[in-house]
Amino acid sequence: MKDIELQIAEQLYHGEEEAVASLIQQALDAGVTAEDILANGLLPGMDHVGKDFKCGDLFVPEVLLAARTMQAGMEVLRPHLIPGLAPTAGKYVIGTVKGDLHDIGKSIVKLMLEGAGFVGIDLGTDVSPEAFVKAVREHKPDILAMSALLTTTMVEMSATILALKEAGLRESVKVIVGGAPVTLSYSEDIKADGYAPDSARAVDVARNLVG
């Protein structure tokens, strides 16, 4: 990892929004790609936050600050991750499932999809099965992408797939699931069409399903 990427990870950990935005700009100016800044700076920084949150070294306010810093960093990266003239690869609807407020991973998946030429709608967080069904009915996406970060909320993915089935829409859309507690085996159990452990592979899966 380059020194500047290391600094981005460290400043993200400490929730230093301005420092992270300015370091990202410096890295971009120096020719580091947006993908490298994300993979070697922001994501390891957030991973460090997650580990220390788990073992009790960090608490919710610090995690929130880091999450806000991550979003600020993503705002600087966004135009560099999205090539303006890519042809449309397909249409997506994305959201974090009901009861779940985690949106960082979902937003990264969305950005990466957009970077790969997909266009779509972000329903945000805490999205009920009914709201997903309504969006599929209205927008007719190729891909419905659901994110869950809690073991208690991942069941909503299954509920949404069921709701799609009941609405007669299941065959009209490919469902992709992901998020830290979600596994390939779980995705198979609930009969999703695809699973990805990270945002880069979410794009691969979406491409394969649409292509």
User: Which residue in 8, 161, 177, 190 binds ligand B1M (CB under 6 A)?
Assistant: 177
146 binds ligand B1M (CB under 6 A): yes
User: In the chain, count of helices (H) and strands (E)?
Assistant: 10, 5
| Surface-to-core class of residue 14, CB atoms within 10 Å of its CB (0-12 exposed, 13-18 middle, 19+ buried) | middle
Residue that is written with structure tokens 């880069």 in the block: 200
Among 100, 201, 206, smallest CA distance to 150 is for 100
Query: Could you tell me whether strands 143-147 and 118-122 are parallel, antiparallel, or unpaired per DSSP bridges?
Result: unpaired
**Options 18-26, 59-67, 128-136, 160-168: segment touching ligand B1M (CB under 6 A):** 59-67
104 binds ligand B1M (CB under 6 A): yes
> How many other C-beta atoms lie within 10 A of the C-beta of residue 195?
21
150 binds ligand B1M (CB under 6 A): yes
Of 64 and 86, nearer to ligand B1M (C-beta) is 64
Query: Could you tell me whether strands 194-195 and 174-178 are parallel, antiparallel, or unpaired per DSSP bridges?
Result: parallel
Least distance to ligand B1M, CB of residue 14, Å:
14
- Residue 128, both tokens: 């009920």
C-alpha to C-alpha distance for 137 and 170, rounded to whole angstroms: 10
4 binds ligand B1M (CB under 6 A): no
Identify whether the C-beta of residue 36 lies closer than 8 Å to the C-beta of residue 5. yes
Of 152 and 208, nearer to ligand B1M (C-beta) is 152
190 binds ligand B1M (CB under 6 A): no
Among 72, 71, 73, 68, smallest CA distance to 41 is for 73
46 binds ligand B1M (CB under 6 A): yes
**Options 7-15, 23-31, 52-60, 166-174: segment touching ligand B1M (CB under 6 A):** 52-60
Of 31 and 62, nearer to ligand B1M (C-beta) is 62
User: Which residue in 3, 30, 60, 171 binds ligand B1M (CB under 6 A)?
Assistant: 60
124 binds ligand B1M (CB under 6 A): no
Q: Which residues bind ligand B1M (CB under 6 A)?
A: 43, 46, 49-50, 53-54, 60, 63-64, 67, 99-106, 108-109, 145-147, 149-152, 176-181, 196, 198-199, 202
